[in-house]
Chains A and B, each alone.
Chain A
């Protein structure tokens, strides 16, 4: 078995396309985004406040994650702080939010009842390093096409056998499979 840290780096690289394109999680709906990030991804409120600087729901930039709500089938995107004026104006509640007011997220007027549903999650840049290990361990849902590509890429690696030894696949339905990895990491930063 490879050392954990090396294995995590290799897995992060392998999963990078999926993290960027988006994987799926089964999630509570109706609650606010901050609550959901804490309860479903297991991160602390401090991490959400300090490290997740940029949030999109369905491509709309979110300013207040305590009023934003996820709906079934929506896309939630998480990013660190971005450079440039345009990067800065995408930040939640940033000084320059007005510059992109045309694509700002507006929370729904009516609160929806709490239920569970499927959410597509994309993570970019520092979020890949900081949330990636935790997600690999707790597992994410990938579709058939993504799983096929992942297995194909894994088979090309020198360490492909090690990766496969540590990968668990649990089909959820004909389209989605939960994949997770076993390693003894204590390095998940998003605690």
Chain B
């Protein structure tokens, strides 16, 4: 993983490919690398869909090795949704395959002059780019089916759907899973629109003939990975709860806590929660011959995903995640798992972020375009996006734009990105992260590795109401570091509770690269990522005024606990004081 593949889509005479050594970016992977390249090479004030923006696709530091759960792919650019820097990541096979081919990153830059649709083919012999206008405006499923006919089942595919081609701000980038389905999405921030602006519809990546990446110290690496896997398997979340019920196991618990945003963040509980809970979903999947336990990429030991079949026993989509079930379900008053799964399928096919679209439909319902609870109307609204109607293009531009167009005051966004499935009035700490993350509202931005394990910022009394700012900051730092390894963020649960599992992660990195990193070095990596991102945003025009939640979170009390968001502006402004 020592080279960067660059494709200048706007080069004279057509797209030009070059391969260079990683050079100054050596030692970086995943989010650390995407954010370093974007912050150094992209003018912060450029138009996100213009020639100056770059789309950076980077596997993590441990991707392509035998390290368990190391298959996350980072995608970075200036976001057309937020206007700031973006790192969005996805599971699936792509990260492992790219890493084995030796690429630390693929960088798409420039802008094509002609209206052609391109595909990029990458294998052990190199890379080439071809025009393939037969792929134009196909859904992700049809695109992958067509490419698989041409290139076989072995490669993995990174594609965009019609939403990306239309350059809509909620457009995602799809990566194929173990079964070759385009179900794993870098969803947030409109990264699909940036890929669309480069004229690239698909990357076909085939690692045939490329071996597993070899560690510098194979014995130490093997032992660290053994400890790593043991740690993941013995933990009650990573070893039991996630596998049995998937991330949607959170529905009941958030609902009970009164922090489950319902009817466009009007209430904190949803009457129909048991009909769409992870427990009910897992039972339904099993009854229909689907899978309630399944990995999203090879080498995953947690297997928090699944396969959702329709009522006739035919494949419909992968197991919808908690955030998807919430966004299209409780947030819109919909308690029908079949309808939610259909919305997930449509989002995946059109190439849309499920969180952004669920929030957008919620805003539409508040505006009166459909009634809360009307699943058929929600499906029709998403179909408008796929069809590219005028209304569909508005919706596909996200909740903030939709709210403006239809005059809705309650629009749940920060930096124009929709809030995920946890109401910050019930859980103030997550509100701090939503408000201050350089990514916009993002539940994964402050997710990982216990602050008390890393020792960033000193110990925090867990039962004190104070310290939420410090916790959020430390979690954001730790998460930025984990996002750079290629590790799935869900490892955080095992690492959080088991210091020896965290040590195993550091041991793996050290054994792989021949380094002697400490926990402090990992923290420093996370800080440097955040500094890069923060600086980019400041140069792009962001101020502390952008690090705030929408007014209704401060003004409208959330039932059933009737609480408001109470973290002060001064406290929010302390988050980045490191």
Contacts and interface: CB of A to CB of B under 8 A. Distances in A.
A115 B397 CA distance: 59
B464 interface: yes
B256 A125 contact: no
B566 A102 contact: yes
Interface in A126-149: 126, 128-129
Given A82-B249, A85-B447, A87-B253, A100 B429 contact: yes
A129 B279 CA distance: 10
Interface string A83-121: 111111110011111111111100000000000000000
Interface stretch (B39-47, B177-185, B237-245): B237-245
Contacts of B447: 84-85
B223 to A, nearest CB: 27
A46 interface: no
Contacts of B490: 83
Interface residues of A, number: 44
Nearest to B280: A16
B241 A59 contact: no
A31 B422 CA distance: 33
A123 to B, nearest CB: 10
B463 interface: yes
Given A20-B277, A20-B279, A83-B493, A93 B463 contact: yes
Given A17-B280, A97-B463, A98-B465, 19 more contacts: A20-B274, A51-B236, A53-B236, A59-B256, A59-B560, A82-B241, A83-B241, A83-B490, A84-B322, A85-B429, A85-B447, A89-B429, A95-B462, A96-B429, A97-B462, A99-B430, A100-B426, A100-B429, A125-B252
Contact of A83 (B249, B422, B466): B249
A124 to B, nearest CB: 4
B428 interface: yes
B259 A98 contact: no
A65 B89 CA distance: 39
Contacts of B492: 85
B427 A89 contact: yes
A82 B250 contact: yes
Interface of A: 13, 16-17, 20-21, 51, 53-54, 56, 59-61, 63, 77, 79-90, 93-104, 122, 124-126, 128-129
Interface string B509-525: 00000000000000000
Interface stretch (B57-65, B382-390, B467-475): B467-475
B279 A125 contact: yes
Interface string B494-520: 001000000000000000000000000
Contacts of A99: 427-430, 468, 471-472
Contacts of B405: none
A82 B237 contact: yes
Contacts of A95: 450-452, 462, 496
A83 B430 CA distance: 14
Contact of A80 (B240, B462, B471): B240
B131 interface: no
B463 A125 contact: no
A90 B253 contact: yes
Contacts of A129: 244
Sort A-B residue pairs by CB-CB distance and give the 3 closest, nearest first. Answer: A99-B429, A101-B465, A20-B274
B443 interface: yes
A86 B249 contact: no
Contact of A86 (B256, B427, B463): B427
A82 to B, nearest CB: 5
Contacts of A125: 241, 244-245, 249, 252-253, 278-279
B279 A86 contact: no
Contacts of B462: 93-98
Contacts of A13: 283
6 contacts: A20-B273, A20-B280, A82-B249, A84-B443, A95-B462, A100-B426
A102 B425 contact: yes
B412 to A, nearest CB: 16
A96 B464 CA distance: 10
A23 to B, nearest CB: 13
Given A56-B256, A97-B463, A98-B463, A128 B279 contact: yes
B258 A16 contact: no
B461 interface: yes
B460 interface: yes
Contact of B244 (A84, A104, A126): A126
A88 B448 CA distance: 10
Contacts of B461: 98
Contact of A102 (B256, B428, B467): B428
Contacts of B560: 59
B258 A59 contact: yes
A63 B471 contact: no
B450 to A, nearest CB: 5
Contacts of A97: 462-463
B540 interface: no
B253 A54 contact: yes
Given A83-B247, A83-B249, A98 B446 contact: no
Contacts of B304: 83
A95 B448 CA distance: 12
B536 to A, nearest CB: 24
Contacts of A90: 253, 257
Contacts of B450: 95
Contacts of B428: 99-102
Contacts of B430: 85-86, 99
B146 interface: no
A16 B429 contact: no
Interface core residue of A21, A83, A86, A88 (most chain B CB under 10 Å): A83
B358 to A, nearest CB: 17
B427 A100 contact: yes
A124 B427 contact: no
Contacts of A124: 249, 252-253, 256, 277, 279
B262 to A, nearest CB: 14
A85 B466 CA distance: 17
B563 interface: yes
A85 B446 contact: yes
A59 B427 CA distance: 13
Contacts of B274: 16-17, 20-21
B561 interface: yes
Given A85-B447, A87-B253, A103-B258, A98 B467 contact: yes
